[in-house]
Chain A
Amino acid sequence: MTSAHAEHVNGELPHEPEKATLEGRNKTLGFWLFLGGEAVLFGTLFATFLALRNSNNDGPTAAELFSLPITAIATAILLVSSLTSVFAIQAMHRHNLQSLKTWLIVTVVLGLGFLGLEIYEFYEYVVHESFGLTTSAFSSAFYTLVGFHGAHVAFGVVWISLLIAQLYRKGLTVVTAPKVYVSAMYWHFIDVVWVFIFSVVYLLGKVG
């Protein structure tokens, strides 16, 4: 008997609505495990990148290619978006639906900003630097690792946008709360992956 569940029936949300039902708790735990698998996935991609990062096949090298200012801005944007997603979850715990929606929208906008910078970066590489997926083993590993991360960000942007739409239609309930919570976990995860990409791909590429 989950008393929290009963509270909801009486029209009151518990402090942590994402943990009120067994379904919600299962979803959170399942998602933690999924992120464990995702860590192996990105770990394998990082290992591939590290193995091939100096094989530039007469194409551009990392040091010639990368521009730290742009990636530093992208990093700042993504880190701030992680903070705004924390604010969203705090608003959810205060049961402040309006504030929750606002912070999620800010998170999505920042995610879009990051994606815009990444697309610009890739465009520059392909068009002006002749650095495509097939240029070298280094380029294949670079685009696959960074592209996988970018695809994760894009998926997260679409996902959180859909959740915002659901919050407008359904409000904050013990069904919608776990969805918002796991999307925030996902967002933090791709943020952490980016920290590693910034260090291992860009910083190491510039100085290593």
Chain B
Amino acid sequence: MAQAQAQGHVHGDHHHSVKRYTGIMDWLTTVDHKKIGILYLLAGGFFFGIGGIEAILIRLQLIKPMNNFVSAQVFNELITMHGTTMIFLGVMPIIFALMNAVIPLQIGARDVAFPFLNSLGFWTFLFGGILLNLSWVMGGAPDAGWTAYTPLSSEYSNSHGVDFYTIGLQIAGLGTLIGGINFLVTIITMRAPGMSYMRMPMFTWASFITSAMILFAFPAITVGLVLLSFDRILGANFFDVAAGGNPVLWQHIFWIFGHPEVYILILPAFGIISEVIPTFARKRLFGYSSMVFATILIAFLGFMVWAHHMFTTGLGPVANALFSIATMLIAVPTGIKIFNWLFTMWGGQITFTSSNLFAIGFIPTFVMGGVTGVMLASAPADYQYHDTYFVVAHFHYVIVGGLVFGLLSGLHYWWPKMFGRMLSEPIGKWTFWTFCIGFHLTFFVQHFLGLLGMQRRIVSYLPHQNFDTMNLISTIGALLMGVGILLFLYNIVVTSMKPMNAAADAWEDGRTLEWSIPSPPPEYNFKQTPLVRGIDAFWKEKMAGNKAMTPAEPVGSIHMPSPSILPFVMSLGLFIAGLGFMFSREDFSNSFMSFIFNNYLVLIIGLMITFGAMITRSLIDDPGYHIEPEEQEEEVRA
């Protein structure tokens, strides 16, 4: 059912009466995937900044031996929140920002399958993230590591920090799950005529597989977080050994989610690199079908390797051997991808734009992270590496050197499509070099710190263990990475003051459908659904001498969904309910506070707001509205 969604043609009565908002209400109520993409980028960028500041504080504490910059408790909170914030609230939303901004355009769709749910996914993520970060000002942040291992997180963590972690991630995770389902259905049913699966751009393919992984991985952490919050708040005994519970159960549940999660993070980056490199090499992607196959294989194997995080837990030699081998197998499809990118560049006319610099820089950096990954996959060797800075170096090479490089490449690449303005190339190149050099300064030495025996997650270290110089270098590198990010922000500010004049085909060598429509695209994306005649659909038309895509339908009235405040209200209700649940067993000095919290009134009010909004949504049909051909002409002229 890949035909165009020819909506809005048979209804006799067209609805023009739908209220359309402006200003802040427009952003609170929007269901337009392009605006939701921008919201994801703003919110994700904000949390990325918080996570970055936490990283700098960690590095400042470790700049010299026996430093007293922060206390041990604050240090634990910093490392916990740095990891949690970066993964769940920083890079995941920026991935969703690019998916929202690009995927409907790449498949020739006017919208996503569920515009309302798309908005709901964003707001639940944002309220979950706010709830998690409120912990800083409400009695202390989570302090049990981003993995929240029990019993450290259950019996030995006595502030509300871990409650903020369980409830905040629960709400944010709901948004991610909703987003995943939305993109799966969008890609399955909303593709333009002729866009078969094997003609989809690689970023769409990668996002498709990522969404499937989200669907099957996130429910596991949902359950894990429920069990942990029941243990902590209601006194259940899942992880309490004294009552028959089992702390290793948490490790299994966490990593059954957690390992697929790292592929959820990296696959979209693979997709971005697979778009940027062909564009700036002026060659089609080498080995497209092997790329698709490798992506699916990585996703499949990604679910089979969770216990490699638990080699030292004591699962026994058989389990360790099997998980070891499965982990090493992942290097095969990943290697296929690396060679495909190299062969794409081979013989191409490469232009070194800042976007392409990040993409090319990604390849050797990610390979280094991959090689240490195979080293860690060897269970006997892992006994040596486990919980040292070697592991820290490894996962920062794949997550920062892989994913963040990919995201920065994608942001430079699609910025003109999202905002209609080209980012400054000179500043972009400065961003790349400061960030890239800063990154390697920070993390390369950490391999050796780990091999020398420096443990991760320690607040300070004694002098004269050969740690001092390398920690100093690492901190200098972290500051340089900070400079790189500040340069990127400066670039955004400078660019936003320039006129909005990016061309539709902003890089002139665009290959996929998003470059065939104006930058930024009109509300309805495609005035006429395009007919796709091959892989790299737009490039194919350009090579055939056409200026634009061949339309698959006549110009007509376009049906759009109405904006709605309900997603915001539903998420607000969950936020209130979360706070209510978290403090339901708290001893308040104020009698009113104890009345409303200890009787679960806040929890009930929050849930009533959410369910009330859901019922409203169900009872009142959304007729949407239509954009007539005359209005479409006006928008193009404007």
Contact = CB atoms under 8 A, between A and B. Distances in A.
A140 B238 contact: yes
Contact of A136 (B185, B231, B244, B253): B244
B1 A25 contact: yes
Contacts of A123: none
B86 interface: no
Interface stretch (B21-29, B215-223, B434-442, B509-517): B215-223
A128 to B, nearest CB: 21
B185 A44 contact: no
B181 A144 contact: no
B188 A29 contact: yes
Nearest to B619: A166
Nearest to B623: A175
Contact of B215 (A37, A51, A175, A179): A37
Given A26-B114, A36-B216, A140-B236, A44 B253 contact: yes
Contact of B189 (A25, A38, A47): A25
A52 B177 contact: no
Contacts of B6: 1-2
Nearest to A21: B7
Nearest to B223: A44
Contacts of B392: none
Interface string B251-268: 011001000000000000
Contacts of B227: 48, 140, 144
A149 interface: no
B227 to A, nearest CB: 7
B113 interface: yes
Contact of B621 (A44, A136, A175): A175
Contacts of A9: 10-12
Contact of A36 (B5, B12, B215, B220): B215
Contacts of A144: 226-227, 230, 236, 238
A30 B230 contact: no
Given A52-B245, A144-B226, A38 B11 contact: no
The residue in A5, A29, A44 that gathers the most chain B C-beta atoms within 10 A of its C-beta is A44
B499 interface: no
A6 B234 CA distance: 55
B468 interface: no
A33 B619 CA distance: 24
A55 B236 CA distance: 13
Contacts of B455: none
B387 interface: no
A179 B618 contact: yes
A181 interface: no
Interface residues of B, number: 49
Contact of A51 (B9, B114, B185, B249): B249
B238 A141 contact: yes
Contacts of B5: 22
Interface size class of A (residues with CB under 8 A): 35 or more
Interface string B98-119: 0000000000000001100100
A30 B181 contact: yes
A138 B245 CA distance: 8
Interface in A117-148: 133-141, 144
A56 interface: yes
A37 to B, nearest CB: 5
A140 B240 CA distance: 11
A15 B177 CA distance: 33
B243 interface: yes
B244 A41 contact: no
Contacts of B252: 47
Contact of B244 (A1, A40, A137, A175): A137
Nearest to A40: B219
Contacts of B235: 133-134
Nearest to B256: A44
A140 B188 CA distance: 40
A162 interface: yes
Contact of A137 (B113, B117, B238): B238
Interface string B232-250: 0011111010011110010
Contacts of A80: none
Contact of A37 (B181, B188, B249): B181
Nearest to A163: B618
A52 B256 CA distance: 18
Contacts of A138: 244
Contacts of A34: 181
A45 interface: yes
Nearest to B236: A140
A140 B222 CA distance: 16
Contacts of A141: 238
Contact of B245 (A2, A22, A26, A55): A55
Interface in A7-65: 9, 22, 25-26, 29-30, 33-34, 36-38, 40-41, 44-45, 47-48, 51-52, 55-57
Nearest to B621: A175
B223 A45 contact: yes
Given A25-B1, A29-B188, A41-B222, A133 B619 contact: no
14 contacts: A2-B6, A26-B113, A26-B189, A30-B117, A36-B215, A37-B215, A40-B216, A44-B220, A47-B253, A133-B230, A134-B234, A134-B235, A136-B237, A140-B230
Interface of B: 1, 5-7, 9-12, 113-114, 117, 177, 181-182, 184-185, 188-189, 215-220, 222-224, 226-227, 230-231, 234-238, 240, 243-246, 249, 252-253, 256, 615, 618-619, 621
The 9 closest A-B pairs by CB, nearest first: A55-B244, A137-B244, A140-B236, A41-B219, A44-B223, A40-B219, A137-B245, A57-B244, A134-B235
Given A22-B7, A162-B618, 7 more contacts: A34-B181, A51-B249, A52-B245, A52-B246, A57-B237, A134-B237, A175-B621
